[in-house]
Structure 1
Amino acid sequence: MINKFIEPLLIFVRGLFMGSADIIPGVSGGTIALITGIYERLVHAIGKINFSFVKPLIKGDFSLFKKNFLDEIDFQLFVPLLLGIAIAMLTLSKVIGFLLNEYTAFTFAFFLGLIVASSYVLYTQVVHFSPKIILVSVIGFILAYIFVGLNPVATNHTLPILFFSGMIAICAMILPGISGAFILLLLGQYHYMLNALNSFSWVEIITFCLGALIGILGFSKLLDYLLQHHEEITLALLIGVMIGTLRIPFDQITTTIGGSPFDIAICIILVIIGFALIVLLEMKFKHIE
Protein backbone atom coordinates (compact mmCIF):
# COMPACT_ATOMS: atom_id res chain seq x y z
CA MET A 1 0.00 0.00 0.00
CA ILE A 2 2.85 2.39 0.88
CA ASN A 3 4.59 1.74 -2.44
CA LYS A 4 1.43 2.78 -4.29
CA PHE A 5 1.86 6.25 -2.80
CA ILE A 6 5.66 6.45 -2.79
CA GLU A 7 6.17 5.63 -6.46
CA PRO A 8 3.83 8.36 -7.83
CA LEU A 9 5.35 10.82 -5.35
CA LEU A 10 8.89 10.05 -6.55
CA ILE A 11 7.78 10.39 -10.18
CA PHE A 12 6.13 13.72 -9.31
CA VAL A 13 9.40 14.94 -7.73
CA ARG A 14 11.26 13.91 -10.90
CA GLY A 15 8.72 15.97 -12.84
CA LEU A 16 9.44 19.00 -10.67
CA PHE A 17 13.16 18.70 -11.38
CA MET A 18 12.57 18.11 -15.11
CA GLY A 19 10.22 21.07 -15.41
CA SER A 20 12.72 23.29 -13.60
CA ALA A 21 15.50 22.18 -15.95
CA ASP A 22 13.44 22.58 -19.11
CA ILE A 23 12.97 26.33 -18.62
CA ILE A 24 16.73 26.90 -18.21
CA PRO A 25 18.79 27.54 -21.37
CA GLY A 26 21.67 25.06 -21.33
CA VAL A 27 20.13 22.50 -18.96
CA SER A 28 18.14 19.53 -20.24
CA GLY A 29 15.09 17.95 -18.65
CA GLY A 30 16.17 14.74 -20.38
CA THR A 31 19.37 14.83 -18.33
CA ILE A 32 17.36 15.00 -15.11
CA ALA A 33 15.24 12.06 -16.29
CA LEU A 34 18.41 10.09 -16.99
CA ILE A 35 20.17 10.68 -13.69
CA THR A 36 17.00 9.99 -11.69
CA GLY A 37 16.57 6.61 -13.37
CA ILE A 38 13.36 7.24 -15.30
CA TYR A 39 14.68 8.10 -18.76
CA GLU A 40 14.37 4.78 -20.62
CA ARG A 41 10.92 4.11 -19.15
CA LEU A 42 9.78 7.56 -20.25
CA VAL A 43 11.10 7.24 -23.80
CA HIS A 44 9.66 3.73 -24.17
CA ALA A 45 6.27 4.80 -22.75
CA ILE A 46 6.03 7.68 -25.22
CA GLY A 47 7.30 5.58 -28.12
CA LYS A 48 4.67 2.87 -27.70
CA ILE A 49 1.74 5.30 -28.11
CA ASN A 50 0.30 4.38 -31.51
CA PHE A 51 -3.32 5.57 -31.02
CA SER A 52 -4.66 2.05 -31.66
CA PHE A 53 -7.52 2.97 -29.31
CA VAL A 54 -8.92 5.51 -31.79
CA LYS A 55 -10.28 2.93 -34.26
CA PRO A 56 -12.50 1.05 -31.76
CA LEU A 57 -13.72 4.41 -30.42
CA ILE A 58 -14.85 5.42 -33.92
CA LYS A 59 -16.59 2.05 -34.32
CA GLY A 60 -18.34 2.48 -30.98
CA ASP A 61 -16.57 -0.49 -29.37
CA PHE A 62 -16.03 1.18 -26.00
CA SER A 63 -14.83 -1.94 -24.18
CA LEU A 64 -12.00 -2.46 -26.69
CA PHE A 65 -11.29 1.27 -26.66
CA LYS A 66 -10.91 1.22 -22.88
CA LYS A 67 -8.66 -1.86 -23.00
CA ASN A 68 -6.35 -0.45 -25.71
CA PHE A 69 -6.31 2.99 -24.10
CA LEU A 70 -5.22 1.66 -20.70
CA ASP A 71 -2.72 -0.80 -22.23
CA GLU A 72 -1.09 1.78 -24.50
CA ILE A 73 -0.69 4.74 -22.15
CA ASP A 74 1.35 4.49 -18.94
CA PHE A 75 -0.88 6.65 -16.74
CA GLN A 76 1.07 5.72 -13.61
CA LEU A 77 4.05 7.46 -15.19
CA PHE A 78 2.50 10.29 -17.19
CA VAL A 79 0.03 11.72 -14.67
CA PRO A 80 2.44 12.48 -11.78
CA LEU A 81 5.34 13.31 -14.11
CA LEU A 82 3.44 15.81 -16.26
CA LEU A 83 1.82 17.32 -13.17
CA GLY A 84 5.28 17.91 -11.66
CA ILE A 85 6.64 19.38 -14.90
CA ALA A 86 3.66 21.72 -15.31
CA ILE A 87 3.79 22.97 -11.72
CA ALA A 88 7.53 23.61 -11.92
CA MET A 89 7.26 25.51 -15.20
CA LEU A 90 4.36 27.67 -14.05
CA THR A 91 5.81 28.50 -10.63
CA LEU A 92 9.54 28.78 -11.33
CA SER A 93 9.44 30.69 -14.62
CA LYS A 94 9.33 34.03 -12.76
CA VAL A 95 12.21 33.01 -10.46
CA ILE A 96 14.41 31.79 -13.31
CA GLY A 97 13.67 34.91 -15.36
CA PHE A 98 14.60 37.15 -12.41
CA LEU A 99 17.85 35.28 -11.69
CA LEU A 100 18.91 35.31 -15.35
CA ASN A 101 18.33 39.06 -15.57
CA GLU A 102 19.74 40.16 -12.21
CA TYR A 103 22.44 37.57 -11.41
CA THR A 104 23.44 36.29 -14.83
CA ALA A 105 27.00 35.14 -14.05
CA PHE A 106 26.09 33.50 -10.75
CA THR A 107 23.07 31.73 -12.27
CA PHE A 108 25.03 30.35 -15.22
CA ALA A 109 27.86 29.30 -12.87
CA PHE A 110 25.33 27.11 -11.08
CA PHE A 111 24.10 25.79 -14.43
CA LEU A 112 27.71 25.03 -15.43
CA GLY A 113 28.08 22.81 -12.38
CA LEU A 114 24.82 21.05 -13.24
CA ILE A 115 25.93 20.30 -16.80
CA VAL A 116 29.44 19.12 -15.83
CA ALA A 117 27.96 16.77 -13.23
CA SER A 118 25.36 15.52 -15.71
CA SER A 119 28.14 14.73 -18.19
CA TYR A 120 29.95 12.80 -15.48
CA VAL A 121 26.82 10.82 -14.58
CA LEU A 122 26.25 9.99 -18.23
CA TYR A 123 29.92 8.94 -18.52
CA THR A 124 29.35 6.35 -15.79
CA GLN A 125 26.57 4.82 -17.93
CA VAL A 126 28.97 3.94 -20.77
CA VAL A 127 30.41 0.57 -19.77
CA HIS A 128 32.88 -0.15 -22.58
CA PHE A 129 35.01 2.65 -23.97
CA SER A 130 36.65 2.15 -27.36
CA PRO A 131 38.09 4.33 -30.14
CA LYS A 132 34.64 4.32 -31.79
CA ILE A 133 32.98 5.52 -28.57
CA ILE A 134 35.55 8.30 -28.17
CA LEU A 135 35.18 9.35 -31.82
CA VAL A 136 31.39 9.57 -31.48
CA SER A 137 31.79 11.70 -28.34
CA VAL A 138 34.20 14.05 -30.13
CA ILE A 139 31.76 14.41 -33.02
CA GLY A 140 28.95 15.21 -30.57
CA PHE A 141 31.15 17.78 -28.85
CA ILE A 142 32.10 19.55 -32.10
CA LEU A 143 28.53 19.65 -33.41
CA ALA A 144 27.13 20.95 -30.10
CA TYR A 145 29.91 23.54 -29.67
CA ILE A 146 29.25 24.95 -33.14
CA PHE A 147 25.47 24.77 -32.76
CA VAL A 148 25.26 26.66 -29.47
CA GLY A 149 27.42 29.42 -30.95
CA LEU A 150 24.78 30.25 -33.52
CA ASN A 151 22.96 33.56 -33.30
CA PRO A 152 19.24 33.58 -32.47
CA VAL A 153 16.91 33.69 -35.45
CA ALA A 154 14.70 36.75 -35.82
CA THR A 155 11.15 35.33 -36.04
CA ASN A 156 7.63 36.46 -35.24
CA HIS A 157 5.38 34.97 -32.60
CA THR A 158 2.36 33.82 -34.59
CA LEU A 159 0.55 30.68 -33.48
CA PRO A 160 1.91 28.53 -36.37
CA ILE A 161 5.46 29.60 -35.47
CA LEU A 162 4.84 28.74 -31.80
CA PHE A 163 3.39 25.37 -32.86
CA PHE A 164 6.48 24.43 -34.89
CA SER A 165 8.77 25.83 -32.20
CA GLY A 166 7.13 23.43 -29.75
CA MET A 167 7.69 20.52 -32.14
CA ILE A 168 11.40 21.30 -32.46
CA ALA A 169 12.09 22.23 -28.83
CA ILE A 170 10.47 19.14 -27.35
CA CYS A 171 12.87 16.91 -29.30
CA ALA A 172 15.73 18.67 -27.52
CA MET A 173 13.99 18.65 -24.15
CA ILE A 174 13.79 14.86 -24.11
CA LEU A 175 17.46 14.44 -25.10
CA PRO A 176 20.03 14.46 -22.29
CA GLY A 177 22.48 17.27 -22.92
CA ILE A 178 20.43 19.29 -25.38
CA SER A 179 18.46 22.13 -23.89
CA GLY A 180 14.98 22.70 -25.29
CA ALA A 181 15.04 26.17 -23.72
CA PHE A 182 18.19 26.97 -25.68
CA ILE A 183 16.52 25.78 -28.90
CA LEU A 184 13.73 28.27 -28.16
CA LEU A 185 16.39 30.91 -27.57
CA LEU A 186 17.84 30.24 -31.01
CA LEU A 187 14.36 30.34 -32.55
CA GLY A 188 13.70 33.70 -30.90
CA GLN A 189 10.81 32.31 -28.83
CA TYR A 190 12.35 31.78 -25.37
CA HIS A 191 11.58 35.11 -23.72
CA TYR A 192 8.19 35.27 -25.44
CA MET A 193 7.17 31.84 -24.09
CA LEU A 194 8.60 32.67 -20.66
CA ASN A 195 6.38 35.77 -20.58
CA ALA A 196 3.45 33.66 -21.80
CA LEU A 197 3.95 31.33 -18.84
CA ASN A 198 4.26 34.23 -16.42
CA SER A 199 1.07 35.87 -17.70
CA PHE A 200 -0.83 32.58 -18.18
CA SER A 201 -1.47 33.27 -21.89
CA TRP A 202 -3.32 30.01 -22.46
CA VAL A 203 -3.77 30.30 -26.24
CA GLU A 204 0.00 30.53 -26.78
CA ILE A 205 0.73 27.90 -24.13
CA ILE A 206 -1.77 25.39 -25.55
CA THR A 207 -0.58 25.98 -29.13
CA PHE A 208 3.02 25.39 -28.08
CA CYS A 209 2.06 22.25 -26.12
CA LEU A 210 0.14 20.81 -29.08
CA GLY A 211 3.23 21.23 -31.24
CA ALA A 212 5.34 19.63 -28.52
CA LEU A 213 2.93 16.68 -28.32
CA ILE A 214 3.17 16.01 -32.06
CA GLY A 215 6.96 16.33 -32.00
CA ILE A 216 7.56 14.06 -29.02
CA LEU A 217 5.31 11.27 -30.28
CA GLY A 218 7.33 11.00 -33.49
CA PHE A 219 10.83 11.59 -32.15
CA SER A 220 10.52 9.28 -29.15
CA LYS A 221 10.12 6.23 -31.43
CA LEU A 222 13.50 6.91 -33.04
CA LEU A 223 15.12 7.56 -29.68
CA ASP A 224 13.59 4.42 -28.18
CA TYR A 225 15.03 2.37 -31.05
CA LEU A 226 18.51 3.86 -30.59
CA LEU A 227 18.49 3.19 -26.85
CA GLN A 228 17.26 -0.35 -27.36
CA HIS A 229 19.78 -1.29 -30.10
CA HIS A 230 22.69 1.19 -29.86
CA GLU A 231 22.68 2.34 -26.24
CA GLU A 232 26.40 2.93 -25.69
CA ILE A 233 26.88 4.76 -29.01
CA THR A 234 23.86 6.94 -28.25
CA LEU A 235 25.11 7.72 -24.74
CA ALA A 236 28.61 8.48 -26.06
CA LEU A 237 27.14 10.98 -28.54
CA LEU A 238 25.11 12.59 -25.77
CA ILE A 239 28.20 12.92 -23.56
CA GLY A 240 29.94 14.86 -26.32
CA VAL A 241 26.86 17.01 -26.85
CA MET A 242 26.61 17.86 -23.16
CA ILE A 243 30.27 18.85 -22.94
CA GLY A 244 29.88 20.95 -26.09
CA THR A 245 26.93 22.83 -24.62
CA LEU A 246 29.18 24.04 -21.79
CA ARG A 247 30.00 26.86 -24.18
CA ILE A 248 26.67 28.50 -23.24
CA PRO A 249 27.21 29.01 -19.49
CA PHE A 250 30.95 29.63 -19.93
CA ASP A 251 30.35 32.46 -22.41
CA GLN A 252 27.63 33.96 -20.20
CA ILE A 253 29.88 33.86 -17.12
CA THR A 254 32.92 35.39 -18.80
CA THR A 255 30.91 38.22 -20.38
CA THR A 256 28.83 39.20 -17.33
CA ILE A 257 30.96 38.44 -14.27
CA GLY A 258 32.44 41.31 -12.31
CA GLY A 259 36.21 41.57 -11.98
CA SER A 260 36.36 41.25 -8.19
CA PRO A 261 37.84 38.14 -6.54
CA PHE A 262 34.63 37.87 -4.50
CA ASP A 263 32.49 37.45 -7.65
CA ILE A 264 34.89 34.83 -9.01
CA ALA A 265 34.86 32.96 -5.70
CA ILE A 266 31.04 32.97 -5.63
CA CYS A 267 30.95 31.55 -9.17
CA ILE A 268 33.37 28.76 -8.24
CA ILE A 269 31.31 27.91 -5.15
CA LEU A 270 28.10 27.81 -7.22
CA VAL A 271 29.75 25.51 -9.79
CA ILE A 272 30.68 23.13 -6.97
CA ILE A 273 27.18 23.30 -5.48
CA GLY A 274 25.59 22.58 -8.86
CA PHE A 275 27.93 19.63 -9.43
CA ALA A 276 27.32 18.20 -5.96
CA LEU A 277 23.54 18.58 -6.30
CA ILE A 278 23.38 16.47 -9.46
CA VAL A 279 25.72 13.78 -8.10
CA LEU A 280 23.78 13.54 -4.83
CA LEU A 281 20.48 13.50 -6.75
CA GLU A 282 21.69 10.65 -8.94
CA MET A 283 22.97 8.67 -5.93
CA LYS A 284 19.74 9.21 -4.03
CA PHE A 285 17.45 8.05 -6.83
CA LYS A 286 19.75 5.12 -7.65
CA HIS A 287 19.54 4.06 -4.00
CA ILE A 288 15.74 4.35 -4.03
CA GLU A 289 15.45 2.34 -7.24
Structure 2
Amino acid sequence: MGAADSIPGVSGGTIAFITGIYERLITAITSLDPGALTLFRDVGNPSGRRRLYDRLVEMDVPFLLVLGAGIITAVVAVSRVVYLALQQAPGATFAFFFGLIAASAIVLYDQLSLATPGRIAAAVAGFALAFLVSGVTAGANGIHTLPIVFVSGAIAVVAMVLPGVSGAFFLVLLGQYEYLTGTLKAFVDGLFSALVGDRTLLSLVDSGTTVVTFVVGAVVGLVTVAHAIRWALDHYRAATLSFLVSLMVGALRLPVIEMRDHTTTLSPENVAPLVLAIVVGGGVVLLLDLYTDDLSY
Protein backbone atom coordinates (compact mmCIF):
# COMPACT_ATOMS: atom_id res chain seq x y z
CA MET A 1 0.00 0.00 0.00
CA GLY A 2 2.84 2.41 0.78
CA ALA A 3 4.46 1.82 -2.60
CA ALA A 4 1.14 2.39 -4.37
CA ASP A 5 0.39 5.52 -2.32
CA SER A 6 3.73 6.99 -3.43
CA ILE A 7 2.89 6.80 -7.13
CA PRO A 8 0.33 9.17 -8.70
CA GLY A 9 -2.43 7.18 -10.39
CA VAL A 10 -2.13 4.03 -8.30
CA SER A 11 -4.24 3.64 -5.17
CA GLY A 12 -3.19 2.06 -1.91
CA GLY A 13 -6.88 1.31 -1.36
CA THR A 14 -6.81 -0.95 -4.42
CA ILE A 15 -3.90 -2.89 -2.93
CA ALA A 16 -5.90 -3.24 0.29
CA PHE A 17 -8.72 -4.73 -1.77
CA ILE A 18 -6.37 -7.14 -3.55
CA THR A 19 -4.84 -8.38 -0.29
CA GLY A 20 -8.23 -8.75 1.38
CA ILE A 21 -7.74 -6.21 4.19
CA TYR A 22 -9.87 -3.32 2.89
CA GLU A 23 -12.97 -3.88 5.01
CA ARG A 24 -10.84 -4.56 8.09
CA LEU A 25 -8.94 -1.31 7.45
CA ILE A 26 -12.10 0.80 7.12
CA THR A 27 -13.62 -0.85 10.20
CA ALA A 28 -10.47 -0.22 12.25
CA ILE A 29 -10.22 3.45 11.18
CA THR A 30 -13.87 4.20 11.93
CA SER A 31 -13.65 2.32 15.26
CA LEU A 32 -10.91 4.55 16.68
CA ASP A 33 -12.20 6.16 19.86
CA PRO A 34 -10.28 9.11 21.39
CA GLY A 35 -11.95 8.28 24.68
CA ALA A 36 -9.67 5.26 24.97
CA LEU A 37 -6.82 7.64 25.79
CA THR A 38 -8.22 8.00 29.30
CA LEU A 39 -7.25 4.38 29.96
CA PHE A 40 -3.58 5.37 29.88
CA ARG A 41 -4.08 6.91 33.34
CA ASP A 42 -4.27 3.43 34.86
CA VAL A 43 -1.26 1.81 33.16
CA GLY A 44 0.50 1.77 36.53
CA ASN A 45 -1.48 -1.24 37.72
CA PRO A 46 -2.00 -4.67 36.07
CA SER A 47 -5.78 -4.36 35.75
CA GLY A 48 -5.44 -0.95 34.10
CA ARG A 49 -2.91 -2.25 31.61
CA ARG A 50 -5.22 -5.16 30.81
CA ARG A 51 -8.19 -2.84 30.18
CA LEU A 52 -6.04 -0.69 27.90
CA TYR A 53 -4.75 -3.72 26.02
CA ASP A 54 -8.24 -5.15 25.53
CA ARG A 55 -9.54 -1.78 24.27
CA LEU A 56 -6.69 -1.38 21.81
CA VAL A 57 -7.25 -4.91 20.49
CA GLU A 58 -10.98 -4.21 20.23
CA MET A 59 -10.23 -1.19 18.04
CA ASP A 60 -7.71 -3.29 16.05
CA VAL A 61 -4.91 -0.82 16.82
CA PRO A 62 -2.15 -3.50 16.57
CA PHE A 63 -3.28 -4.15 12.98
CA LEU A 64 -3.15 -0.42 12.18
CA LEU A 65 0.32 -0.06 13.74
CA VAL A 66 1.80 -2.96 11.76
CA LEU A 67 0.13 -1.79 8.54
CA GLY A 68 1.27 1.78 9.19
CA ALA A 69 4.87 0.66 9.72
CA GLY A 70 4.82 -1.15 6.39
CA ILE A 71 3.28 1.85 4.61
CA ILE A 72 5.82 4.28 6.07
CA THR A 73 8.74 2.01 5.12
CA ALA A 74 7.58 1.75 1.52
CA VAL A 75 6.76 5.46 1.22
CA VAL A 76 10.26 6.40 2.37
CA ALA A 77 11.90 3.97 -0.06
CA VAL A 78 9.75 4.62 -3.13
CA SER A 79 9.53 8.40 -2.72
CA ARG A 80 13.34 8.60 -2.83
CA VAL A 81 13.36 6.84 -6.21
CA VAL A 82 10.60 9.07 -7.58
CA TYR A 83 12.31 12.22 -6.33
CA LEU A 84 15.55 11.27 -8.06
CA ALA A 85 13.60 10.54 -11.25
CA LEU A 86 12.00 13.98 -11.09
CA GLN A 87 15.42 15.57 -10.74
CA GLN A 88 17.12 13.57 -13.49
CA ALA A 89 14.31 13.18 -16.04
CA PRO A 90 11.35 15.40 -15.11
CA GLY A 91 9.71 15.25 -18.55
CA ALA A 92 9.73 11.46 -18.75
CA THR A 93 8.64 11.15 -15.11
CA PHE A 94 5.61 13.38 -15.65
CA ALA A 95 4.88 11.45 -18.85
CA PHE A 96 4.86 8.28 -16.71
CA PHE A 97 2.47 10.02 -14.30
CA PHE A 98 0.27 11.02 -17.27
CA GLY A 99 0.01 7.38 -18.34
CA LEU A 100 -0.80 6.24 -14.81
CA ILE A 101 -3.49 8.86 -14.23
CA ALA A 102 -5.07 8.59 -17.70
CA ALA A 103 -5.30 4.80 -17.54
CA SER A 104 -6.71 4.99 -14.00
CA ALA A 105 -9.41 7.38 -15.18
CA ILE A 106 -10.28 5.12 -18.12
CA VAL A 107 -10.55 2.08 -15.86
CA LEU A 108 -12.71 3.89 -13.32
CA TYR A 109 -14.98 5.53 -15.89
CA ASP A 110 -15.81 2.02 -17.06
CA GLN A 111 -17.29 1.45 -13.59
CA LEU A 112 -19.49 4.58 -13.78
CA SER A 113 -22.74 5.56 -15.42
CA LEU A 114 -23.37 9.24 -16.17
CA ALA A 115 -27.08 8.57 -16.58
CA THR A 116 -28.52 11.46 -14.57
CA PRO A 117 -28.12 15.24 -14.67
CA GLY A 118 -26.69 15.18 -11.13
CA ARG A 119 -23.91 12.78 -12.09
CA ILE A 120 -23.11 14.76 -15.20
CA ALA A 121 -22.97 17.97 -13.17
CA ALA A 122 -20.66 16.30 -10.63
CA ALA A 123 -18.38 15.10 -13.43
CA VAL A 124 -18.24 18.54 -15.06
CA ALA A 125 -17.54 20.18 -11.70
CA GLY A 126 -14.72 17.73 -10.94
CA PHE A 127 -13.11 18.21 -14.34
CA ALA A 128 -13.37 22.01 -14.21
CA LEU A 129 -11.97 22.21 -10.68
CA ALA A 130 -8.97 20.00 -11.44
CA PHE A 131 -8.31 21.70 -14.78
CA LEU A 132 -8.21 25.13 -13.15
CA VAL A 133 -6.19 24.06 -10.11
CA SER A 134 -3.65 22.10 -12.15
CA GLY A 135 -3.10 25.13 -14.37
CA VAL A 136 -2.29 27.22 -11.31
CA THR A 137 -0.06 24.67 -9.58
CA ALA A 138 1.92 23.56 -12.62
CA GLY A 139 5.44 24.91 -12.26
CA ALA A 140 4.50 26.87 -9.14
CA ASN A 141 7.22 27.36 -6.55
CA GLY A 142 7.16 28.55 -2.97
CA ILE A 143 3.50 27.73 -2.17
CA HIS A 144 4.43 25.24 0.53
CA THR A 145 3.31 26.80 3.79
CA LEU A 146 2.54 24.54 6.75
CA PRO A 147 -1.26 25.03 6.49
CA ILE A 148 -1.14 23.91 2.86
CA VAL A 149 1.04 20.92 3.80
CA PHE A 150 -1.45 20.03 6.55
CA VAL A 151 -4.42 20.18 4.18
CA SER A 152 -2.47 18.18 1.58
CA GLY A 153 -1.92 15.42 4.11
CA ALA A 154 -5.60 15.34 5.00
CA ILE A 155 -6.63 15.13 1.36
CA ALA A 156 -3.97 12.63 0.26
CA VAL A 157 -5.08 10.09 2.85
CA VAL A 158 -8.21 9.38 0.79
CA ALA A 159 -6.11 6.87 -1.15
CA MET A 160 -6.26 4.62 1.92
CA VAL A 161 -10.05 4.67 2.10
CA LEU A 162 -11.09 4.91 -1.56
CA PRO A 163 -9.89 2.20 -3.97
CA GLY A 164 -9.05 3.50 -7.41
CA VAL A 165 -8.16 7.08 -6.46
CA SER A 166 -4.52 7.91 -5.71
CA GLY A 167 -3.43 10.08 -2.80
CA ALA A 168 -0.17 10.95 -4.56
CA PHE A 169 -2.30 12.15 -7.47
CA PHE A 170 -3.86 14.78 -5.21
CA LEU A 171 -0.39 15.91 -4.13
CA VAL A 172 0.53 16.35 -7.80
CA LEU A 173 -2.71 18.27 -8.38
CA LEU A 174 -1.98 20.55 -5.41
CA GLY A 175 1.58 21.18 -6.57
CA GLN A 176 3.06 19.57 -3.45
CA TYR A 177 4.33 16.22 -4.73
CA GLU A 178 7.89 17.07 -5.73
CA TYR A 179 8.36 19.37 -2.73
CA LEU A 180 7.15 16.79 -0.21
CA THR A 181 9.12 13.88 -1.67
CA GLY A 182 12.24 16.04 -1.60
CA THR A 183 11.56 17.15 1.97
CA LEU A 184 11.01 13.56 3.11
CA LYS A 185 14.28 12.50 1.46
CA ALA A 186 16.15 15.36 3.14
CA PHE A 187 14.63 14.52 6.53
CA VAL A 188 15.48 10.81 6.32
CA ASP A 189 19.02 11.53 5.11
CA GLY A 190 19.49 14.09 7.89
CA LEU A 191 18.12 11.70 10.50
CA PHE A 192 20.61 9.00 9.54
CA SER A 193 23.43 11.57 9.58
CA ALA A 194 22.37 12.70 13.05
CA LEU A 195 22.35 9.12 14.32
CA VAL A 196 25.98 8.61 13.26
CA GLY A 197 27.02 12.01 14.63
CA ASP A 198 27.62 13.86 11.36
CA ARG A 199 24.85 16.42 12.05
CA THR A 200 22.81 17.70 14.96
CA LEU A 201 19.10 17.11 15.42
CA LEU A 202 18.56 20.88 15.32
CA SER A 203 19.45 20.83 11.62
CA LEU A 204 16.32 18.71 11.02
CA VAL A 205 13.88 21.26 12.40
CA ASP A 206 12.73 22.65 9.04
CA SER A 207 12.28 19.35 7.18
CA GLY A 208 11.04 17.60 10.32
CA THR A 209 8.37 20.23 10.92
CA THR A 210 7.06 19.77 7.37
CA VAL A 211 7.01 15.96 7.67
CA VAL A 212 5.26 16.06 11.06
CA THR A 213 2.71 18.60 9.78
CA PHE A 214 1.90 16.37 6.81
CA VAL A 215 1.55 13.30 9.05
CA VAL A 216 -0.72 15.17 11.48
CA GLY A 217 -2.83 16.29 8.53
CA ALA A 218 -3.07 12.69 7.34
CA VAL A 219 -4.15 11.51 10.79
CA VAL A 220 -6.80 14.22 10.99
CA GLY A 221 -7.88 13.24 7.49
CA LEU A 222 -8.36 9.65 8.58
CA VAL A 223 -10.96 10.66 11.13
CA THR A 224 -12.59 13.43 9.07
CA VAL A 225 -12.07 13.01 5.32
CA ALA A 226 -12.46 9.23 5.61
CA HIS A 227 -15.82 9.55 7.34
CA ALA A 228 -16.95 12.28 4.95
CA ILE A 229 -16.10 10.19 1.91
CA ARG A 230 -17.82 7.13 3.33
CA TRP A 231 -20.93 9.25 3.99
CA ALA A 232 -20.84 10.67 0.44
CA LEU A 233 -20.41 7.20 -1.02
CA ASP A 234 -23.25 5.81 1.08
CA HIS A 235 -25.67 8.59 0.06
CA TYR A 236 -24.43 9.77 -3.36
CA ARG A 237 -22.12 7.01 -4.53
CA ALA A 238 -22.38 7.47 -8.31
CA ALA A 239 -22.14 11.27 -8.19
CA THR A 240 -19.19 11.16 -5.76
CA LEU A 241 -17.26 8.73 -7.92
CA SER A 242 -18.09 10.75 -11.03
CA PHE A 243 -16.66 13.85 -9.36
CA LEU A 244 -13.47 12.09 -8.16
CA VAL A 245 -12.73 10.36 -11.45
CA SER A 246 -13.35 13.58 -13.39
CA LEU A 247 -10.84 15.26 -11.10
CA MET A 248 -8.25 12.86 -12.48
CA VAL A 249 -9.13 13.70 -16.07
CA GLY A 250 -8.98 17.45 -15.47
CA ALA A 251 -5.68 17.10 -13.65
CA LEU A 252 -4.02 15.65 -16.76
CA ARG A 253 -3.40 19.27 -17.69
CA LEU A 254 -0.58 19.40 -15.13
CA PRO A 255 1.66 16.59 -16.48
CA VAL A 256 1.05 17.89 -20.01
CA ILE A 257 2.32 21.35 -18.97
CA GLU A 258 5.31 19.80 -17.18
CA MET A 259 6.19 17.65 -20.20
CA ARG A 260 5.97 20.69 -22.45
CA ASP A 261 8.11 22.81 -20.15
CA HIS A 262 10.83 20.15 -19.88
CA THR A 263 10.97 19.37 -23.61
CA THR A 264 13.17 21.74 -25.57
CA THR A 265 12.12 20.68 -29.08
CA LEU A 266 9.54 18.29 -30.50
CA SER A 267 12.15 16.16 -32.22
CA PRO A 268 11.74 12.36 -32.43
CA GLU A 269 14.59 11.78 -29.97
CA ASN A 270 12.86 14.01 -27.40
CA VAL A 271 9.30 12.81 -27.94
CA ALA A 272 10.03 9.07 -28.07
CA PRO A 273 11.00 8.76 -24.35
CA LEU A 274 7.83 10.63 -23.38
CA VAL A 275 5.63 8.33 -25.44
CA LEU A 276 7.39 5.28 -24.03
CA ALA A 277 6.92 6.56 -20.46
CA ILE A 278 3.21 7.19 -21.09
CA VAL A 279 2.77 3.66 -22.48
CA VAL A 280 4.63 2.10 -19.55
CA GLY A 281 2.63 4.12 -16.99
CA GLY A 282 -0.67 3.26 -18.61
CA GLY A 283 0.37 -0.37 -18.99
CA VAL A 284 1.07 -0.67 -15.27
CA VAL A 285 -2.47 0.40 -14.39
CA LEU A 286 -4.12 -1.68 -17.11
CA LEU A 287 -2.14 -4.74 -16.03
CA LEU A 288 -3.20 -4.17 -12.43
CA ASP A 289 -6.81 -3.81 -13.57
CA LEU A 290 -6.54 -7.04 -15.55
CA TYR A 291 -5.75 -8.96 -12.40
CA THR A 292 -8.34 -7.14 -10.30
CA ASP A 293 -11.27 -7.06 -12.74
CA ASP A 294 -13.36 -9.16 -10.37
CA LEU A 295 -13.19 -6.50 -7.65
CA SER A 296 -16.10 -4.14 -7.13
CA TYR A 297 -15.02 -0.51 -6.75
Further displaced range: 260-269 or 120-129:
120-129
CA contact (8 A) 2:100 2:278 kept: yes
Specify whether residues 153 and 251 from structure 1 end up closer, same or farther in structure 2 by C-alpha distance, changes over 3 A only: closer
Partner-residue secondary structure (3-state), 2:34: coil
* Partners of 1:187 and 1:102 in 2: CA distance: 16
1:58 matched to 2:41? The reply is yes
| 1:90-149 deviation per Cα after TM superposition (whole angstroms, max 9, x unaligned) | 223332222112211111111101001111222233256333212211110001111122
Q: Distance in 2 between matches of 1:288 and 1:235?
A: 16
TM-score by length of 1: 0.76
What residue is the counterpart of 1:24 in the other structure?
none
Equivalent runs, 1:38-187 vs 2, <5 Å: 41=23, 42-58=25-41, 61-73=48-60, 75-76=62-63, 78-126=64-112, 129-151=115-137, 152=140, 154=142, 161=146, 164-175=147-158, 176=165, 179-182=169-172, 185=175
User: Which runs of 5 or more residues in structure 2 are unaligned?
Assistant: 159-164, 192-203
| SS of residue matched to 1:229 | helix
1:15 matches 2:25: no
Cα distance in 1, alignment partners of residues 67 and 42 from structure 2: 32
Query: Residues 34 and 171 (structure 1 numbering): CA distance in 2 closer, same or farther, change over 3 Å?
Result: farther
The CA deviation at 1:44 is 4.8
1:37 matched residue in structure 2: 17
1:203-232 CA-to-partner distances (Å, cap 9, x unmatched) read 433454234323332221211211222221
Query: What aligned pairs does 1:123-272 form with structure 2 within 5 A after superposition?
Result: 123-126=109-112, 129-151=115-137, 152=140, 154=142, 161=146, 164-175=147-158, 176=165, 179-182=169-172, 185=175, 190=180, 191-200=182-191, 201=204, 203-204=208-209, 205-257=211-263, 258-272=265-279
Question: Paired residues, what number?
Answer: 263
Distance 1:222 1:48, change over 3 A: farther
Query: What TM-score, normalized to structure 2?
Result: 0.74
Q: Distance in 1 between matches of 2:150 and 2:269?
A: 42
Matches of 1:197 and 1:169, distance apart in 2: 20
C-alpha contact 1:114 1:277 (8 A) present in aligned 2 = yes
Instruction: State which structure, 1 or 2, has the greater radius of gyration over its C-alpha atoms.
Output: 2
Identity percentage of aligned residues: 22
Task: Tell me, yes or no, if the aligned pair for 1:113 and 1:272 is still in contact at 8 Å.
Answer: yes
The alignment yields a C-alpha RMSD, in angstroms, of 3.2
Partner deviation per Cα, 1:46-67 (whole Å, 9 max, x = no partner) = 2332223223443664444333
Moved more, 220-229 or 41-50: 41-50
